[in-house]
Structures are given as C-alpha cells and as structure tokens.
Amino acid sequence: MSLAPGRPLRARFPIFAAMSGQPFHYLDNGATGQIVDVAADALLGFETRSRANVKRGVYGLADAATVAFDKARASMAAFLGAGSSEEIVFTSGTTMALNIVAHGLAGELRPGDRIVSSVLEHHSNIVPWQLVAGPAGAVVRAIPATGEGRLDLDALAAMVDERTRIVSVTHVSNVTGAVSDIARIRALAPDAILVVDGAQRAPHGPLDVQAMGCDFYALSSHKMFGPTGAGVLWGRGERLDALPPFLGGGEMIRRVSFDGTSYARPPHRFEAGTPPIGPVLGMAAAARWLMQQDWSAWAAHEKRLGERLLNGLAAIDGVRVHGPQGLQERLGIVAFEVDGVHAHDVCQMLGDRGVCLRGGHHCAQPLMERFDVAATARASLAPYSDADDVDALLQGLPEVIGRLR
Amino acid sequence: MSEDLYQEALVAMAKSGIGAGRLEAPDGTATADNPLCGDRVTVDVRMDGGRVRELAHKTRGCLLTQAAAACVADHVPGMDADDAASLAEAVRRWLAGEGDPPAGLEIMEPVRAVRSRHECVLIAYEALRDALGNAGTSR
C-alpha cells in the first residue's frame, strides 16, 4: 500500500520511534537513508531464523536461502528495469560496483586511451579510473561543471573522440542534486562504454536502465532504505559477458586447476566469496516496497520541501547555495556555504538542535575546488522528511551564524 | 554540548589571527590535511639552533582548527625543537583521554568528548611536527 510522504511514512522507519522524545530532524539522507521496516525484518529474519550459505548446501535451510537470494536478484532486476536477473551483480555497494567495472575494463585500455569522468563525481567514480588508467598509459579527463553545478555537456561534446573508451558519470550529484542527462551523454559518446553512478538516484524511485542507454549502473542499498553492506552492479548482458572478474575466490569459478582456471558466467563471476546475504535480502525488500509507492506524490512532496529549503536559505543573509537554484532536473540535495562560518561548525551546532546535516567536501574534492570552497554543509531530503525538518534548519541557522561569525 | 565546545575563549583564540601568514624563506615548512573535510594547515618555522625562533601558519579550517593553529603559534616559538615535535603525539594522547592538556589547549577540553572533531585539533600539530622534521637538516 502506498503511504502519504512526510510524517505518516515515519511509522515504517524504526529510527523515528527510537529517537522519539528528542529533537530529530534527519537531513543527511545523501550520506545514508534510514532503514524501512520490511528491509530490517528481512535482514534480521535471515540472520536469526533462516541463515545458511547460498549457492552451496542442498539441505532445506540452504536451499531456502538460495531461493530467497534468487528472488532478491529478480526484485533488483525489476527495480532497475534490467533485461534479466543475470544482469544483476550483488556487491557491497556502489564503490565496489564501480571498482568491478574499472578493474574489469583495465585490460582493454591502451596507451593514449581516454576515460571521461567529471568534476561532479564522488571520489568513488574518479579514483578507480585513475588506478586502472595509470598502468595502462590511459588518461582520465573530467567533464567540467557549470557555475550552477551541472555537467557541462557542451564541453563533453568537444571532449569525445575516437580514443574515448569509457564515460563514467553520476546520475545525480551528491553535492548539487543536479540530475544528469544520461540520454544526451549517450548520444554524445555513442561508441564509449557508459557507466552511471546511481547511488543518489536510487532512493528516488524505480529505474529504467535499458531506456537510459547506459552499459553499467551502480547503486547502494543503504541509500535506498535498505541495510548497509549491499549494492548492485547492473551490466548490459553482452557487456557483463565480456567483462573479466575483479576478485577471485569461491563461487566465481567454473573449474579451478593449476593448469588454468575458468570462470563462472555473470553474475556469479563477479560474486567471489560469501555475499552479504542478509543485506541483499534487506535491499530487495526495500526495493519491492519502493516499487509499491506512489512516486508522483512522493516527487511532488520532495519538490515542495526542496523549494521551501532553497527559498528559506536564499532569505538568510550570507548563505550561498552551490547548485541549481530551482528544482528542474534536480533532487532535494542542497549544499550551502555560510559566509565567514565553517561548515563543520554549522553542522556541529545544528546537531545540538537535532538537525542532522553533512559538512565537509562530500568526497567530491574536485567540485569543491571548482566552487573554490574547502567544505560545504549539505541538507538532503527523503520521502519521510517534512516541513518541520526544513524549518528547524532554517530557524537554527541564523542563530548559529550569530553565535559563530 | 556545542555551547561548551564553542566557548568564548576558543572562539576568541580562533579569531585572534595569532601567527597567521607565511614566513619568508623558512627553515622548515609542512602542510597537513584533514581528509574528512578538506581543511588544511601549513606551518612554517625558522630555527635558532635547537630552538624554534619563529613560526607562522596558513590555515583553512573550522574554528577548532583555527584555534589549534593559533595555539601552536602562541606557545611554540622559543620551545626546544624536539619538545615541539613531540606535541602532536601528546595532543593525540590527550584527546584520547590520557594525560594533561598541552599548553594552551585547556580551552579545548570539551573537544575530547567529540570523537569526530579530534582531527580538527590535531592537524596543526602534525604540520608543526613535519615542518620541524623538514627543518632538521638545517639546524
């Protein structure tokens, strides 16, 4: 059943009962979302009542675990709009997913090849590419950001050439909230392997990776209201088939011999060792729950709150938002700088008022350089956020500024 | 809690600007970064035998980082170089709950309870230690 966004939704998120009786305005959803009850139940239910390893044992408990794991793969395929369950690789999160792709593609890179990332990226979509580019003699280049914190796609048009092998970009910036135009990027770089970091987009509703036109897509469970420790790498069938493994171990092989080892087909080729079974089952439960919600109502709610937040911040003297001013092609992730007051000091003092913000470089140092700031404070919304949360920030901020400036 | 953290003496120290700037042709210089937030302190030292004669710092950081850098500039000139270099470890241990505060850090007592802010205080002392290490060959 679909629930109204805002306060009614909180009944489904155990954190709010746990924090009752104290001020709690959770606006750090870009760092991690809170876990929804069905995901927590799936996680704990597996670990305490149904635990057995998957893809191994034949007794009843083990077989049931394997069946549940397969069902989770099907759920994530549905959430992502994948062509089949075999295109869903379970990982520990977005970082591992991006590393599997980067290290898997390393062998294809030749000296002078280009990998295009962007100034908007989280470090996890920059550093893996640098790690594989260096030894291959390939070069990592960055799509610049516009002044309002979007990908400068006109610049990308001028950057793409026949040596551009890989383009890897964020779907939604974890700092500015800007939504990337993946279809246009696909059109600008038709021959490149297109990798999309979907960590910030996944909590905002089901996806259609096939329509998007990308080759790989990565997401994390904990940002989409599932447990920590799980994520997905989706790869277009033929791309995954061609990708060599990154980590070796059990479960990823077909046959092991000292004369030569052959590997399992995807997705198992990329799932060496015991997977995070409980977190995966929790993630899938969260995904099934998300697919049942009324996303037009939730998006309208986020837009209303986002406008309240952006307008409120604009009205406070000395506060500057780094990101698009409106909510067109932008989600409710709002980074801001306070003139003369450091982001950590802002976050520390607002934390005492129960306002939970992230302060720092948000693992996006190139973007901080672009904005010429060391750190910003960031408020990020979720469907359970409400006007009281935004107002607590807007009312607390001038007091903090008065105290610290 | 934060009212304690940001007590007047600390805010005043942070805004004092003591030692702010760079030295021309220092004997030693080093930069320390806080990887969590991107804050950065660069410390320059001029030596006089085994002692620190002059010190300046360039600091981009929160109030805690600025106050710590000002403390370094306030207390370190005139100190024996080895004693000054050992401050980083003393500060780390004090933040972890051991021993008395190094000179000037009494105003930061409440920071000890906030684990996520320890690094803000430490980096100025780490830059000092590394600057003295660089200056080692010239003293």
Which domain CATH number covers A305?
A: 3.90.1150.10
pLDDT tens for A148-170 read 999 999 999 999 999 999 999 99
A107 and A244 housed in the same domain: yes
Residue of A349, A375, A404 with shortest CB distance to B38: A375
| A363 belongs to the catalytic site | yes
Mean pLDDT of A184-190: 98
Whether residues A344 and B60 touch (CB distance < 8 A) is answered with no
Question: ipTM, 2 decimals?
Answer: 0.82
**Which 305-364 residues of chain A touch chain B by CB within 8 A?**
342-345, 348-349, 351-352, 359-361
Per-residue pLDDT reduced to its tens digit, A55-66? 888 899 999 999
Q: Which of A299-308, A366-375, B118-127 has the lowest mean pLDDT?
A: A366-375
A332-365: per-residue pLDDT in tens?
999 999 999 999 999 999 999 999 999 989 899 9
User: Domain of A87: which CATH number?
Assistant: 3.40.640.10
Residue of B nearest to A349 (CA): B2
Instruction: Please indicate, yes or no, whether residues A310 and A369 belong to a single structural domain of this protein.
Output: yes
| Domain stops at, among A291, A318, A343 | A291
Q: Are residues A144 and A195 in the same domain?
A: yes
Extract the tokens encoding B3: 């009212």
Tokens representing A248 are: 């070796």
Element holding A335 (H helix, E strand): strand A333-338
User: Domain check: are A191 and A312 in the same one?
Assistant: no
Range(s) of the domain holding residue B85: 2-138
Q: Assess whether A46 and A179 both reside in one domain.
A: yes
Query: What does the alpha-carbon distance between residue A171 and residue A346 come to, in Å, rounded to a whole number?
Result: 28
Does residue A393 lie in a domain region? yes
Residue A373 belongs to domain spanning: 7-33+294-404
* A61 and A150 assigned to the same domain: yes
Distance CA A174, CA A212 (A): 20
CA A394 – CA A388 distance, rounded (Å) = 10
Whether residue A281 is found in the same domain as residue A309: no
pLDDT in tens, A248-292: 998 898 899 999 899 999 999 999 999 999 999 999 999 999 999
Report the chain B residue with the minimal C-alpha distance to residue A362. Answer: B37
Partnered with residue A89 across adjacent β-strands are A233
Provide the number of CB pairs (under 8 Å) joining chain A to chain B. Answer: 49
CATH number at residue B69: 3.90.1010.10
Same domain, A170 and A94: yes
**A344, B11: Cβ pair inside 8 Å?**
no
- A155 is a domain residue: yes
Number of domains in chain B: 1
Contact B2/A348, CB-based, under 8 Å? yes
Residues 6 or more apart whose Cβ sits within 8 Å of residue A321: A310, A313, A314, A334, A335, A336
Counted domains in chain A: 2
Q: Which residue of A has its CA nearest to B2?
A: A349
A163 in B contact zone (CB under 8 Å): no
Q: Identify whether residues A203 and A313 lie together within a single domain.
A: no
- Is residue A2 a part of any domain in this protein? no
Residue of A nearest to B111 (CA): A348
**pLDDT reported for residue B137:** 52
| B56, burial (CB in 10 Å: exposed 0-12, middle 13-18, buried 19+) | buried
**Looking at the predicted structure, is the pLDDT value of residue B139 above 50?**
no
Contacts of A354 in chain B (CB under 8 A): none
Catalytic pick among A214, A347, A356, A363: A363
Q: Which of A291, A322, A347 is the last residue of a domain?
A: A291
Separation in Å, CA of A340 to nearest CA in chain B: 10
Of the candidates A291, A309, A337, which is a domain's last residue?
A: A291
In a domain, A1, yes or no: no
Instruction: Answer yes or no: do A309 and A265 share one domain.
Output: no
DSSP calls for A221-277: TGGGTS-TT-EEEEE-HHHHHHPPPSS-STTSEEE--TT--EEPPTTGGG--SS--H
